[in-house]
Amino acid sequence: MPQLPHLFSLRRPRARWLAAALAVLTVGAMPAPGLAALPPAVGAQPLPSLAPMLEKVTPAVVNISTKTRVRVRDPYFDDPMFRQFFGLPGTPRERVEQSLGSGVIVDAAKGYVLTNNHVVGGADDISVTLQDGRTLKGKLIGTDPDTDVAVVQIPATGLKALPLADSSTLRVGDFVVAVGDPFGLGQTVTSGIVSALGRSGLGGSGYQNFIQTDASINPGNSGGALVNLRGELVGINTMIFSPSGGNVGIGFAIPTRITSEVMQQLIAHGKVRRGSLGVQAQDITPRIARILGVKADSGVVVTQVATGSAAEAAGLQPGDVIGAIDGKRLRSADDLRNAEGLLPLGSTLKLDVLRDGKTRSVSATLTPEKLATLDGGRLDPRLAGVSFSDLPQQLRGQGIAGVAVSAVGSRSRAALAGLQANDVVIGVGNRRVTSLRELQALAGARPRQLVLVVADDDGAHYVVVQ
């Protein structure tokens, strides 16, 4: 059976087989006897070279290594009665995970480094190694899992930064160069072209608007630079599409139009504040179009409009079909979600809306999404230090139900039990939880053993809070 292609983030631990692989590659790469290097010039005309540009670029591209302490879950060890019976210690068991990635210095004066969230998110220790060999301790300024962007700060001494280009001016066919640290080998440069723009629908729940390139990108390139021939940053390398995990000429980078906006918010607020139209929508289908009595082969149909939202102020109603935003045709509900999530708070959108067989244009301004919150300590003393909130529209639109964990105190009982910010509580004991009101009713009863059913990136598991 042929192997199906997969999407891979590019962060990889340092491989033990590296030395053996290098030996094989070195032998295979030795020049044949009698071959001479190309001359620096043919007649009076020098040969074209990227070297002058790269001399300015490479000092700004760094290697990032992280250490993350991960709690080891065990159904017996996590049970307080089991630990008490056998006299086991109450401190959770941990293991340390190490990984490698890349980053780009974008502000030499303040020491800001752009990288991927999946490179540094959740890391306990961050080390940044410069091209000149210096290794500096990195401070995490903020991360945005929805766009896979993060900002790290290092001591600003003798740094060189890359200027940011406007990625919206890129065209398919433009030459680009990728710089990073694949496989932990050391800084590596590859070249190619822009293969496509605006790529989305690649799986996952984040906002997607990728640059696709055939410049060779491999594991360890996460967070590295994609630059134009002027040496300006146009994107941050983030993932590859591959049947085997190796490069096959399909790589993706986050354009600077997105990373620059996210970076500004992370530096200013430590997180990204997004706006929302306040609608729930689904893809239009021929059957839905017949039911609504409209002729539409693309777009999304509005199924719900939140009270007090930007959509309500703009006059949107359930049953409306949104065909385009700012002149760009919507192909799916994911396109609508991307348009909301990738634009700054306060942006005004022009919506082409089909209602009763007539198309009209309306404007709506992205406003902050108002989410109800709840202090866990008011529910149960064991949940002191935990803040809960309703799920944002982004997750509800994907059919996810539960209650978001918005914050967890580092020394709280819940933190010691393994509860983390961004977890989603989907149950208490054997009872399902879909809203703050249900969580308040179940946890507020203060059961003798407080067992939360939690969903995260690794799936669902129990968290027993003592």
Q: Which of 195, 216, 222, 242 is catalytic?
A: 222
Residue-averaged pLDDT of the chain: 81
| Higher pLDDT, residue 456 or 14 | 456
Q: Which of 78, 118, 214, 276 is catalytic?
A: 118
**Using an 8 Å Cβ cutoff, are 103 and 128 in contact?**
yes
pLDDT of residue 24: 33
Task: Look up residue 279 and give its amino acid.
Answer: V
Q: In the predicted model, is pLDDT for residue 107 greater than 50?
A: yes
Domain architecture of the chain: domains with CATH: 3-15+51-270 (2.40.10.120), 275-368 (2.30.42.10), 373-465 (2.30.42.10)
pLDDT of residue 387: 92
SS3 for the chain is CCCCCEEEECCECCCCCHHHHHHHHHHHCCCCCCCCCCCCEECCEECCCCHHHHHHHHHHEEEEEEEEEEECCCCCCCCHHHHHHHCCCCCCCEEEEEEEEEEEEEECCCCEEEECHHHHCCCCEEEEECCCCCEEECEEEEEECCCCEEEEECCCCCCCCCCECCHHHCCCCCEEEEEECHHHCCCEEEEEEEEEEEECCCCCCCCCCEEEECCCCCCCCCCCEEECCCCCEEEEEEEEEECCCCCCCCEEEEEHHHHHHHHHHHHHHCCCCCEECCEEEEECCHHHHHHHCCCCCCCEEEEEECCCCHHHHCCCCCCCEEEEECCEECCCHHHHHHHHHHCCCCCEEEEEEEECCEEEEEEEECEECCCCEEEHHHHCHHHCCEEEEECCHHHHCCCCCCEEEEEECCCCHHHHHCCCCCCEEEEECCEECCCHHHHHHHHCCCCCCEEEEEEECCEEEEEEEC
Share of the chain above pLDDT 90, in %: 28
pLDDT of residue 2: 40
pLDDT of residue 208: 84
| Higher pLDDT, residue 251 or 72 | 251
The mean per-residue pLDDT over the stretch 239-250 comes to 74
The mean per-residue pLDDT over the stretch 44-70 comes to 85
Q: In the predicted model, is pLDDT for residue 233 greater than 90?
A: yes
Q: In the predicted model, is pLDDT for residue 356 greater than 90?
A: no
pLDDT of residue 89: 57
Q: In the predicted model, is pLDDT for residue 20 greater than 60?
A: no
| Higher pLDDT, residue 437 or 457 | 437
pLDDT of residue 179: 93
pLDDT tens-place string over residues 308-319: 888 989 999 998
pLDDT of residue 245: 64
**Annotated catalytic residue 283:** no
Q: In the predicted model, is pLDDT for residue 268 greater than 80?
A: yes
**Annotated catalytic residue 375:** no
| Higher pLDDT, residue 194 or 287 | 194
**Annotated catalytic residue 6:** no
Q: Which of 148, 181, 334, 423 is catalytic?
A: 148
Share of the chain above pLDDT 70, in %: 81
| pLDDT level of residue 130 (50, 70, 90 thresholds) | very high
| pLDDT level of residue 39 (50, 70, 90 thresholds) | low
